[in-house]
Amino acid sequence: MSVNTISDEQIKATIFDVLGGIAPEADFDALDPNEDLRATLDIDSFDFLNFLIGLNEVLGVEIPEADYGQLVSLNDLVNYLSARV
Amino acid sequence: MAEFCMPSLGADMEAGTVYDWRVQPGDPVKRGDVIASVETDKGVIDVEIFEDGVVEQILVEAGTSVPVGAVLALISGEEEAPAPLPSRTQDQAQGRLVAAMAEAVVAEEVRPLEPRPPGLPGRIEVAPTHNGRRLKVSPAARKRAAELGVDLSAIRGTGPGEAVTLEDVERAAATAAKPVHAKAEGQHIRVSPVARRVAEEMGIDLGAVEGTGPRGAISRADVQRVAAGRSAIGEKEVKAAPEAPASVQPPSRTQVDFQAGMRRAIAAAMSRSNRDIPHYYLETHIDMSHVLKWLEAENLKRPIKDRILPAVLLIKAVARALGDVPELNAYWLDDQLQIQEAIHIGFAIALRQGGLVTPAIHHADLKGLDELMAALRDLITRTRSGGLRSSELTDATITVTNLGDIGVEKVYGVIYPPQVALVGFGKVREQVWVENSMMGIRPVVTATLAGDHRATDGRRGGQFLDALNKYLQDVTL
């Protein structure tokens, strides 16, 4: 995939899209982009794995387990993904 | 002639509502076939039959609530039929039911498990439509379609084999529901099956009921509110109030009912546990560095969708440790310890809207890690979307609860009767660890055992935790 084909906004939309299937009641408009995503949305490790699988299907990014610790907030995720798509 | 009865799907279940029938009179059935689904406090559960035969007569219509043990259908046996399923709510009867169910699933479990992609319904059923086309529909989708009043045959499925998924139904409903406010003549009114029945019984016109469920679906509570209002203040007051915009969904009434039911079910089981079971608690700290290192390397080799969660290692180790200390894989029934041969691990799964279900991973000791992961994925998905089987809700022989995800250090569990033990895991934390007079930092988990002191003593419990520790040091898990 070439560089810069996907904007941060598109990544964010993808994240919300995948998360919406996992936490349908979540209000993404009210989400603080710097807070702990898993704690705020009550995402357990099974949900989180499914979330990453969903992101992988859309964006093609394989996130190794060792990097999970870097992915706390929405901003973390967007930055991580935008560097790799 | 055998009787197919309303099963007891939990120590505390007193009644259930037949949700739908999957068979008709004249249909041949085999042991393990799902022939009906039943709505309980824990959701809609598929109920299996435990004998071969032919459906002779269906005695209870869908939508009817009957007590546990009520005869739902008559099955004529092709051979000497086994005794009808016991159907009392007492422990003894339940124990036999559990044994029968456990027996029935053995055959099913030796088939290779097919891991399902995430987010897909656990089971696809095939049903004929009115125009003769075969339509594949997931149970969750069917339920939702019934709630929303969506015609399934009009939906093009996007699931495997063009199966209609929950999303398809939601999409179809959303498309059909553009003018959410108006309940124009001839437009579908979204209404739950129970609400429809209650409305019929009470003579309430559904067109006059304001639905407070998702997309304005009418729930039983809505109907009852209208009925109550009518009797209290007269019919002229009962008018559909302006509805909230579709984007602002109030908490669904059916969901509130469901949660209240689930809380009652949990309350009954846990009160009974606390009243009857003299619990003892043991805990131990387990060095997870070896297995987690192994798992990380293993997961690195795998595509993301085939990754194994650490919880699977814990379940596997519990299953192996139960092989060493079988007294904890047991029921306390008739004032005695009844050790169970099959190891069915009930895994506590929290529901997003609150409450929990502990469906069983059958024969956990006989499954490899990949099979366990597939089984866990399948169970969690079906627990959250509907489609659990009756046997999965009733035949767990021990419960495992893992609260590590939310930072809990250790769990003091409450045993689910008639089981005699519950194993709890907290969060895996880096801790200072001393071994062979050397100090280091290791990922450590606190494992706890809640044991029924009527059934076992601390020494057996200690042996179990010791075995658990042993298997969690073993990377050939």
Tokens of A57: 């299907």
Q: Domain total for chain A?
A: 1
Whether B340 is covered by a domain: the verdict is yes
Tokens of B28: 């041949």
Measured distance CA(B291)–CA(B294) in Å, rounded: 5
Do the chains contact at A25 and B350, CB–CB below 8 Å?
no
Phi, psi of B22 (to 5 degrees): -100, -5
Residue B25: how many CB atoms within 10 A of its CB?
A: 12
pLDDT in tens, B437-460: 999 999 999 999 999 999 999 999
Q: Which residue of B has its CA nearest to A53?
A: B305
* Predicted-complex ipTM score: 0.84
Q: Nearest by CB to A64, which of B300, B305, B406? A: B300
The pLDDT mean for chain B works out to 75
Q: What is the pLDDT of residue B136?
A: 62
Q: B201: buried, middle or exposed (CB in 10 Å: 19+, 13-18, 0-12)?
A: exposed
Q: Which domain holds residue B112?
A: 1-177
Whether A24 is covered by a domain: the verdict is yes
User: Regarding predicted confidence, which is higher, A85 or B249?
Assistant: A85
* A81 contacts A58 by C-beta, under 8 angstroms: no
CB pairs under 8 A between A and B: 44
Q: Nearest by CB to B118, which of A44, A50, A62? A: A50
Comparing C-alpha atoms, which of B56, B57, B21, B58 is closest to residue B38? B21
Global confidence as pTM: 0.61
Whether A63 is covered by a domain: the verdict is yes
Measured distance CA(B287)–CA(B445) in Å, rounded: 7
Same domain, B171 and B282: no
Whether B328 is covered by a domain: the verdict is yes
* B199 contacts B222 by C-beta, under 8 angstroms: no
Same domain, B163 and B282: no
Residue B400 has pLDDT above 70, yes or no: yes
Q: What is the pLDDT of residue B156?
A: 64
Residue B100 has pLDDT above 80, yes or no: no
Measured distance CA(B139)–CA(B458) in Å, rounded: 44
Q: Nearest by CB to A50, which of B119, B353, B405? A: B119
Q: Which residues contact B467 (CB under 8 A, 6 or more apart)?
A: B320, B321, B324, B325
Whether A19 is covered by a domain: the verdict is yes
In B309-389, which ranges are continuous DSSP H helix? Answer: 310-324, 369-385
Whether A1 is covered by a domain: the verdict is no
Residue A7 has pLDDT above 50, yes or no: yes
**Amino acid of residue B170:** E
Q: What is the pLDDT of residue B363?
A: 96
Q: What is the pLDDT of residue B148?
A: 66
Domain boundary among B148, B177, B206: B177
Do the chains contact at B405 and A44, CB–CB below 8 Å?
yes
Q: What is the CATH number of the domain that holds B97?
A: 2.40.50.100
Measured distance CA(B386)–CA(B22) in Å, rounded: 16
Q: Which domain holds residue A41?
A: 8-82
Whether B287 is covered by a domain: the verdict is yes
Measured distance CA(A23)–CA(A40) in Å, rounded: 11
Phi, psi of B26 (to 5 degrees): 100, -20
Whether B382 is covered by a domain: the verdict is no
SS3 at position B242? coil
List the single best residue of A17, A40, A49 to mutate versus B (max B Cβ within 10 A).
A49
Do the chains contact at B307 and A63, CB–CB below 8 Å?
no
Q: Domain total for chain B?
A: 2
Q: Which residues contact B385 (CB under 8 A, 6 or more apart)?
A: B121, B122, B138, B140, B166
Residue A60 has pLDDT above 60, yes or no: yes
Same domain, B164 and B287: no
Do the chains contact at B296 and A65, CB–CB below 8 Å?
yes
User: How many Å lie between the alpha carbon of A58 and the closest alpha carbon of chain B?
Assistant: 13
Same domain, B169 and B285: no
Do the chains contact at A65 and B303, CB–CB below 8 Å?
no
Q: What is the CATH number of the domain that holds B341?
A: 3.30.559.10
* B259 contacts B7 by C-beta, under 8 angstroms: no
Measured distance CA(B219)–CA(B214) in Å, rounded: 10
Q: Which residues of B touch A51 (CB under 8 A)?
A: none
Domain boundary among B161, B177, B193: B177
In B162-302, which ranges are continuous DSSP H helix? Answer: 166-176, 193-202, 220-233, 253-276, 289-300
